Every structure is written in structure tokens, then in C-alpha cells.
Amino acid sequence: MSVIEASHLTKYYGKARGILDVSFQVEEGEIFGFIGPNGAGKSTTIRLFLSLIYPTSGTATIFGKDAIRYGPELRQEIGYLPSDVFYYERMKVIDLLSYSASFYNRDCTRRLHELAGLMELDLHRRIEDLSYGNKKKVGIVQGLLHQPRLLFLDEPTAGLDPLMQRKFFQLIQQENQRGVTVFFSSHILSEVQRLCNRVGIIKEGRIIEIADIHTLQQNNYKKVRVVADRLDPAYFDLPGVTGLEHHNGVVRFFFKGDINAVMRRIGEITVSDVTIEEPTLEEIFMHYYE
């Protein structure tokens, strides 16, 4: 059984496009990356699953149940961290977190303090006095304190310093090892690459690719860099080569196909350096958006 399933989900805001015919599944224990530029429909998709908004057509199910009809019950098991966090400004951190905890049918006190300690969060300050980064920490604790089985993270790292980002990723990985399924939306590919098993790529409201992150990297493209004297870049203009660049005796390109074709070309000339590597997700991603 899939933990999350979108089936032909479409959302219009009046006439404005939200998402169009989005279908995908996320299995239990996965960390699913959801990539796309701003305005592509990442938040719309998450907000539909949380029934903050209602679909124009199509269905969203969580743990096999309709996300809207069974929303309140399902949300017992869902944690959500939005990209921008806003809480009742006049409350103290501890009061807000206790308020949040009071909604769940289990005792969250221990986990609350554990997480606050881990994130180095001062529980007795007022929300309005917190910096953005600290509010974000409140968001993290709030999203995890009830030990949810499913996490929706909507561009979660914005506003966190690198040290906290690392802690946060460790935390997410730990949660994942406990069996928590994670839906992680981001436009920062390196973090998706680091964390996720599978990714969905969304562009202008439509899913354009869903793939295993390794297949996405391995099966498609190799990034080749060749350094040699008096090298004519046209020499590498083979079928399957894209993005050919030449700069100070260094030739770079992406190649898709039988790598031996490139190897033979390289073998015939004298080179001073060669690297062949997997492109970063960033580079693959740019390719999709060209």
C-alpha cells in the first residue's frame, strides 16, 4: 500500500493554474523528493494533501484513505513543516508547542523536550522575539513532536544556518530509519540528492518525470571533461553529446549513449587529463527545464 497517492490531481485557483493532472505514489519508508522551481505547484500539491485547499478534480489519498474526508483522523499521523513559519506571536515557545501537542491522542512531552534540546531552542521566549531561524526551529519541533508516520516538508531548510541544516537532515534521516515516510519539496537539488530515494520533477503544474534518484543520475548522462593541447571541440561532436563547451584547452560536454564511443575518441588523442562523472542533479534538472 502506498502511503501517499495522488491520482489525476488538478487544482485551479479561479482561472489561475495550480497543478494539472498530477499522479504519483510514495511508498512506506521512502524519502520522496519533489523538485521544481518556484510557482511550479509544489506547495499546492502539499496543501492539497493537508486539505488546506480542495482539489478541482482528482483525488489525494494518504494511508489508503481520502485525504479530505478523513483529514482530521489522518493528521494524527502527519507532521508538516512549511517553508515560512508563522505562529501566535504573543505566545511563549513552550505554550505554543504544548498547544500543538494537546491536539494529539498521545503524550508528546518527552519528545517535545528532546527535540527542543536537540535544536537548541529556548522554550521560554516569546515567539515574537525569535529570529527567523529560531522560528523555523519551533516549526521543526512542532512538526515532529507527535512522532508522525508521515512528514510533509515544504522547502524546509530556508532560513536555517548550515549547522542547523545538517542537524535537521540527520533528524529527518533518523525519523526515516524509524520507518517514517517523507515527502520533501525543494528547489535546492543538492539537498534532495543527499536525502531522497526517488524524485518527482514538476514543471508548470505538471509532473514531467518520476525516477529513482540513482537511475536519474546513472542511466542518463555522463559528464565528461577532457584536457588536451590544441583540441578542436568539434572532435567530440558525436551523436548523444550535448552542452559542448571549450575553454582554455578544456573541453566539457554531457553524453548519453554508449560510453565506449567517447572512450575510443579519447584513446586516439594525447590527453593530459580526463574525468568522466555523473552529473549533479542540478545539471540534470537544468536539462529538463531547457
The residues binding other proteins (CB under 8 A) are: 13, 43-44, 47, 50-54, 71-76, 78, 80, 82-84, 86-89, 99-100, 102-105, 142
CA distances, 113 to each of 70, 75, 179 (Å) = 30, 22, 22
SS3 146: coil
CA distances, 190 to each of 103, 174, 223, 264 (Å) = 35, 19, 17, 32
Report d(CA 27, CA 5) in Å as an integer.
9
Query: Smaller CB distance to other proteins: residue 47 or 198?
Result: 47
Query: Smaller CB distance to other proteins: residue 9 or 213?
Result: 9
Query: Smaller CB distance to other proteins: residue 43 or 181?
Result: 43
Query: Smaller CB distance to other proteins: residue 186 or 217?
Result: 186
SS3 145: coil
Query: Smaller CB distance to other proteins: residue 51 or 193?
Result: 51
Q: Least separation, in Å, of the C-beta of 222 and other proteins?
A: 39
Identify the residue whose cell numbers are 579519447.
266
Q: Least separation, in Å, of the C-beta of 15 and other proteins?
A: 14
SS3 98: helix
Which DSSP letter does residue 85 get?
-
Q: Least separation, in Å, of the C-beta of 13 and other proteins?
A: 7
Q: Least separation, in Å, of the C-beta of 188 and other proteins?
A: 17
DSSP string, 189-205: HHHHHHH-SEEEEEETT
Q: Least separation, in Å, of the C-beta of 10 and other proteins?
A: 14
Report d(CA 186, CA 220) in Å as an integer.
22
